Amino acid sequence: MPISFVLICVFGLGVIAWAISRARSAHFAPVAGKLKLALPGHYGLYAAIWTIVPALLAAWIWSLISPGLVHGAILADPAAAQLPAFEFERNTVLNEAFALANNPNAFASDTIAQQLAPAIAAAQAKFGWIGAAITLIVALSGLAFGYTRIKAGFPARSRIERIVLGALLLASFVAIVTTVGIIASLIFESARFFSMVNPIDFLFGTNWTPDTMASASSDMGNDLGAVPLFWGTFFIGAVIAMIVAIPFGLMSAIYLTQYASPRARRILKPMLEILAGIPTVVYGYFAALTAAPIIRDLANAIGITNASTESALAAGLVMGVMIIPFVSSMADDSIAAVPQAMRDGSLAMGATTSETIKKVLIPAALPGIVAGVMLAISRAIGETMIVYMAAGASANLSANPFERMTTVTYQIAALLTGEGSFDHPTTLSAFALGLVLFIVTLILNIIALRVVKRFREAYE
């Protein structure tokens, strides 16, 4: 019996439970001297929950255990006696047989698999029926139980609300589970990597030549020194991008908050925000298609020969433009948080607006602006697509912005989209890089948020 049909039956039973419980509770005579404890809808919902939730749980648990049962039934089949004893071969044959059982047109080269396929199909059908029966029985007994509990004095509303609160709490825990999942998966895979490669070699080595085909030997660490990646990430994200983003972001924030008329601000600010809404892949394409050739010609013009089309400068500049609205809105917030009295005081002393901004507002807003820049850096170093498309793959420990450079995010993406096996240290190094990236951005964020908080409190 197809699973979707069973699910429709379960939900149908739920609707029936809702309707009959609601109808029944509508005729409850009010008990003298007692408050009404729930509306008919509450009783209906209560019975429906009892019908649907346990049945879905039963179906889920059955879906977890039934593959094991099918497997056991197959191995008991006489045809299975001919299966190869060697585990790897046996699994190959079994996989082929399963594919054949689910799809009669599937290709199966092995004769044993062809013999086994009907037995598998039969076993799957049998256990499918059993599962469907169990699910429906659970649904019916849930319905009966829920229905019998519907009585005049039964506090269905508070029961329902307890369930709702449980669901709310469960949804909130998803955030914690995600965080734990990120940390656990990064640490778990990194630990596998560091059991093969010395952490010192990885963190302080200066030679990055990953080769997913190399035999995993003890000297892997010599090829997996991540310093050039850290340098490239820092140089592109924290130096070149910030050289663009900080002056542009700060000056546009100053213009928008101090000079622009409210009307101009209403138009200009959303337009600036558009820059932040453009997908990074579009920036990457623009950097590779338009910015990079211009920069190469520029490099040639100032006498740098063999400049390549991929350069740290192209990626960094475009990334900087992407970050402008971010820096601008952070600076905007911090300047707005400076008390008006300080500005008025400076203007009253005869300072011009620009003198007030330079001598009073910016020094007063500096902690907030610095925090904003830290958040911007954390965003820039985690950016993948622009560097993937414009910065290149070669690890280069150089301060020349016209050279190709690679970053942590580029290498994560490149290592995990390649053909490497998941047990190879070179592939696993992507998770170690991810761990480093996660820790660095986390520290930047925590410090920045703390600075912002303290800064806001100082002026309140």
Q: Which is nearer to another protein, 122 or 243 (CB)?
A: 243
CB atoms within 10 A of CB 86: 9
Residue 103's alpha-carbon distances to 66, 93, 107, 114, in angstroms, are: 19, 15, 9, 12
Q: Which is nearer to another protein, 151 or 358 (CB)?
A: 358
Distance CA 115, CA 99 (A): 13
Placement of tokens 């019998």 in the chain? 148
Q: Which is nearer to another protein, 13 or 287 (CB)?
A: 287
CB of 179 to another protein, least distance (A): 4
Q: Which is nearer to another protein, 116 or 375 (CB)?
A: 375
Q: Which is nearer to another protein, 18 or 147 (CB)?
A: 18
Task: Report which of 229, 235, 281, 287 is spatially closest to residue 410, judged by C-alpha positions.
Answer: 229
CB of 213 to another protein, least distance (A): 20
Q: Which is nearer to another protein, 303 or 350 (CB)?
A: 350
Instruction: Quote the Cα angle for 225-230-231, to 5°.
Output: 105
CB of 141 to another protein, least distance (A): 28
CB of 222 to another protein, least distance (A): 25
Packing angle of the helix pair 111-149, 87-102 (nearest 10 deg)? 70
Distance CA 217, CA 280 (A): 38
Q: Which is nearer to another protein, 103 or 206 (CB)?
A: 103
Q: How many residues comprise the chain?
A: 460
210: left (phi over 0), alpha (psi -120 to 50) or beta: beta
CB of 180 to another protein, least distance (A): 8
Distance CA 111, CA 107 (A): 11
CB of 124 to another protein, least distance (A): 18
What residues are paired with 224 via a beta bridge?
208
Placement of tokens 């970050």 in the chain? 323
Residue 47 CB partners (closer than 8 Å, separation 6+): 17, 18, 20, 21, 143, 146, 147, 149, 150
DSSP 276-332: HHS-HHHHHHHIIIIIHHHHHHHHHHTT-TT--S--HHHHHHHHHHHHHHHHHHHHH
Q: Which is nearer to another protein, 31 or 282 (CB)?
A: 282
Are the beta carbons of 240 and 316 closer than 8 angstroms? yes
Placement of tokens 């669901």 in the chain? 167
Placement of tokens 């338009």 in the chain? 290
CB of 140 to another protein, least distance (A): 28
Q: Which is nearer to another protein, 137 or 168 (CB)?
A: 168
H or E element, residue 363: helix 362-381
CB of 423 to another protein, least distance (A): 11
CB of 64 to another protein, least distance (A): 12
Q: Which is nearer to another protein, 300 or 354 (CB)?
A: 354
DSSP 101-115: HH-TTS----HHHHH
Placement of tokens 């911090």 in the chain? 334
CB of 32 to another protein, least distance (A): 19
